[in-house]
Chains A and B, each alone.
Chain A
């Protein structure tokens, strides 16, 4: 078990006042809140910050922690409480921690343990864990990242999550659970799906909770997803733009021929009906044209451009700039 330096977690000194601790906690809670932060380990950092605050905001727990801190970690960073250690303050819950206490570290559990018993919580998060009554199990929320191709065609994915349940001793334990889920074709970014009865088990014959999965689409190197529509930038040659052409463009899982209208400009959008994400109302693929020049021109091409310049000398591409 590693020693946790709660002062370092909150970025405050050992002598920090309760007000300084509260201020540091509030700032870090805003920074690392999983609903706000985009940092990869925001969830873990948020839990650390909450755990540190839970201890340091309480004078009794803080005094006990300070005592242990002096006792110190071993050379390798690991920590064992002194023989016979027992917290006088215990875990009473309070503040934000009522909901997430079961996710505190082993270090916290070892020092202030005893807070994970069923029935000990009345907070919002674990209303389902009361042994003496029949109640519905906790709903579980998870996220699932999909590649665009997987969302388009449908796929089978493994979803791992944790359910909290009450063991034979009446303690709330976290149990990892794995499900293979068949994802149907056409899932959109941010879409939620519900798997009935796959959450935490009910208590006393109550119904199981549900598993809610929020789908996240990973960025694709070519396509951008907007709702059900797929955007694709397609480069075309200047003569294709001028004269019109039939060009081959990729779609998810294949390719199609697209007719580029004569006189197309960069940025022109062409719609491939029904080639977006499938569904009851399938999306479209929107092709954005981008005129590109060859890196080098042959002498013959340069002569042709010269002729073109003479033939089109009245065209001012910068007319909107008033020059």
Chain B
């Protein structure tokens, strides 16, 4: 077992932190058509909404979402419309879980008092 300890400094809001269509395809190991379809279904969005796909720039969130979409498609055999709906519902579930958590803690304040 090899272990390396290195100090890495993270830089945020790095302008180089976006990907072109070609780069996001390389990272996601998928065809451009797949990414274009995900954009058309609203699953991911370029940060600059231009009609020319050659000018598209995707941020890290888009890449993470693309990977998630791929995993769901690969593991659960979901088609594109189903994928778009699943991801929307998963987002909604996540937001609602957070809201329930927040309200529960707020409620705990009132009950404790």
Contacts and interface: CB of A to CB of B under 8 A. Distances in A.
Contact of B60 (A34, A46, A181, A193): A193
Interface in A156-189: 156, 175-184, 186-187
Contact of B74 (A99, A186, A292): A99
**6 tightest A-B CB contacts, nearest first:** A192-B60, A224-B102, A182-B9, A127-B29, A292-B113, A181-B8
A182 B74 contact: no
Interface of B: 1-13, 17, 26-27, 29-30, 60-61, 63-64, 67-68, 70-72, 74-76, 90, 97, 101-102, 105-106, 109-110, 113
Interface of B is mostly: helix
Interface of A: 26, 29-30, 33-36, 38, 46, 50, 96, 99, 124-125, 127, 136, 139, 141, 156, 175-184, 186-187, 192-195, 198, 212, 214, 219, 224, 231, 233, 235, 279-280, 288, 290, 292
A179 B4 contact: yes
A139 B25 CA distance: 13
B107 to A, nearest CB: 10
A193 B63 CA distance: 11
B65 to A, nearest CB: 10
B61 A192 contact: yes
Given A96-B75, A235-B109, A212 B64 contact: yes
A283 B9 CA distance: 23
Contact of B29 (A124, A141, A181): A124
